[in-house]
Structure 1
Amino acid sequence: MENIQHSHVEVKGLKLHVAEIGTGEKVVVFLHGFPEIWYTWRYQMIAVANAGYRAIAFDFGGYGLSDHPAEPEKATIMDLVDDVKDLLDTLGISNAILIGKDFGAIPAYLVAAVHPEKVASVITLGVPFILPGPSAVQNHLLPKGFYITRWQEPGRAETDFGRFDVKSVIRNIYTLFSKSEVPVAGDEQEIMDLFNPSTPLPPWFSEEDLTAYASQYEKSGFRFALQVPYRSLTVESGLIDPKVNVPALLIMGEKDYCFNFPGMEDYIRGGVAKNFVPKLETIYIPEGSHFVHEQFPEQVNKLIIEFLDKQSI
C-alpha cells in the first residue's frame, strides 16, 4: 500500500483524487461503486501492478477526496462517462482496460460503447451492462421499502443517514449489503434500521478498512453519492442500442444480493446481457458476496490477470 502514489488531477475544472501504482505500458483503470472509494481496489491495484500493468484508481467527482461538481443535483451517470474519458485524455492515455464494480460497471461499459477507441477490454464485478433510464431498475416489482426506491426519494436517506456518524453509516451499509438478501425496509423503518448493532463486520473487512472509508466520506459526505447513481439512474442516457464490442468479463458472487433483483438472474445466467456485450464471459464465485473483490481478493485477482493476459496474447 505504501507504494501507491496519490495525486490530484484537474479534469474540466474539478480536481480528481487519483491513486496509482505500476509502470507497465498497458493501463488498467478501476472504477468504484457505493459505498466505496479508490481504496476498494487496494488488493487488485497491487496485483495488476505486480503482473506488469499500470494501475490507476480514482475517486469519482463528489466522492472521497475528489472535488464536488458545482451542481451535484444535476449530475447523471453520463457525467461519469465523461469523467473517465477526460481523465484518460488528461493523463495522456490513449487506450485502457476498465474495471468497474457496482455502479462503476455502468460507466465502464458505456465508455467502451461511446468511445470504443479508448477501451481495450472491460471487466465488471457485481453488476452487468445496464443502460440508465426508466427501466434500469424495476423498482415497482419490489416492495416500496426497497433501498434504491428509498434512496431515490429526496431528503429521505439524508435524514436516515444523519442519525448516525459517517463511520456507522459505512459500517451498516457494508454489513447489510454483504448479505444475499435485497435490503428492504418495512413501513415504519428506514434502511439504517435494518442493521443489527450486534452484528460484527464481515471477517474480510477490518476496522482499519472501515476507518479508511469513513475518513474520506467524512470529507465528501453522501450528497453526490445519493444523486449518482441512485437519483439519476432513471435519467435517459441518450444512447440508442449501444454495443460494447471489446472483450468483457463479468465476475459475480453467487451470494450477491443483486441476483434477487427482478429479472437479473435470467439477464445474467440466460445470456441476455450478451445482446449488449457480445464478447462477454461470465464467471461465478460460489460464496462471493456483492463485495467479492474484497472478500476473495486472491481469487478475483487471479481471474482478472488471467483475462488481461489472455487479451495480450
Structure 2
Amino acid sequence: MNTQLLFQLLVNGLVVGTLYGVVAMSFVLIYKATQVVNFAQGELLLIGAWVCWALLAKYQVPFYVGMPLTLVFMFAFGIAIQIIVLRPMIGEPIISVIMVTIALSTVFQATLKWIFGVNPQPFPQIFTTQSVSFAGFQLQTVYVMSLVVSVAMMIGMAWFFKVSKYGLAMRATAFNQQVAQSLGISVKSVFAMAWAISATVSAVAGVVVAVVNGVSSGLSAYGIKVFPAAILGGLDSIGGAVLGGIIIGLLENLAQYIDSEYLHWGNLYEIAPFYVLIIILMIKPYGLFGTKDIERI
C-alpha cells in the first residue's frame, strides 16, 4: 500500500474539493433565488477564463489588474444575461427556463470557439514558484491560492446571506417570492444579483483551473462535473454545496488511488462521483441537506 501517494491524493482532493464547493455554490445560488438549474454554469467558468487569458496574454495586463477586471466584467455579464435573456421568461414554466439555459450553453460554446478558436491555450505564468512543499506534500501554488480564495469566498458568502441587505432579500425570495414582493423586495433585482454573483464566483474557479490546465472548451465540463456536488449537498443548501464539493473532490482522488493501485480500469476517477450521486439520491432524494418538499393532495 502506497501510503505516501494516498495522502498526497487526499490532500489534493481536499484542495480541489473546496474549488468544487465554490462552483457548486453558484448552482445553489441561482437555484435558491429562481428555482432554476443553470446548465450554462460551466460556460460561465470558460468565459471568465478566456476573458482573463485575453487580458493577460493579448493585452499584457498584470494579473493583479486583469483578475479584478475579469470579475467586474463577469458581474456585469451575469446581470446582462438575467435582464436580456431570462427576465422575459419570468412566469413561464420552469422547464422552459431550464431549456433556455441549455441553449445559452450551446451559444456560448459556439461564440467562444468563433472568437478564440478551438485550440487550447496555455495560461500566462502567474507564480514564479509552481509548487510549494507543505508537511511533506507537494502542492501546486495555484491550488494553494485557490484554497485560500475559496475559503475566503465561503466566509464572504456566509456573511452576505446573514448580514447584508441583498443577502437577506435573497433568502426571503428563496423562501417565498410572493411574500418577498409584498414586503417591498424587488424580485427582479434579486434574480439579477444572483446571476451576477454566480457568474463572478464561476470566473474565479475558471481562472484557477485554466492556470493549471490551460484554456480550452473542455473547461466547461466542470459545470457538469460539479453538478453531483450540488445535488449531493442539496440544491438549496449553500453549506451542503460546500460539503458536497469537498466530498466529491476527496472521492475522485480516492478513486484514482484505488484505480491506479488495484483495479487499473483507467476511468474510475471520472465516473466515481456519478456512481455516488446515484446511490445518495436513492437514499436521500433531496441530498444531504436539501429541504424536503412535502406535497399534500
TM-score bracket, normalised by the shorter chain, equals under 0.3
For normalisation by structure 1, the TM-score amounts to 0.25
Query: Which structure features the higher share of strand residues?
Result: 1
For normalisation by structure 2, the TM-score amounts to 0.26
Query: Which structure features the higher share of helix residues?
Result: 2
Q: Higher Cα Rg: structure 1 or 2?
A: 2
Q: Taking CA–CA contacts closer than 8 Å with sequence separation of 6 or more, which of the two structures ends up with the larger relative contact order?
A: 2
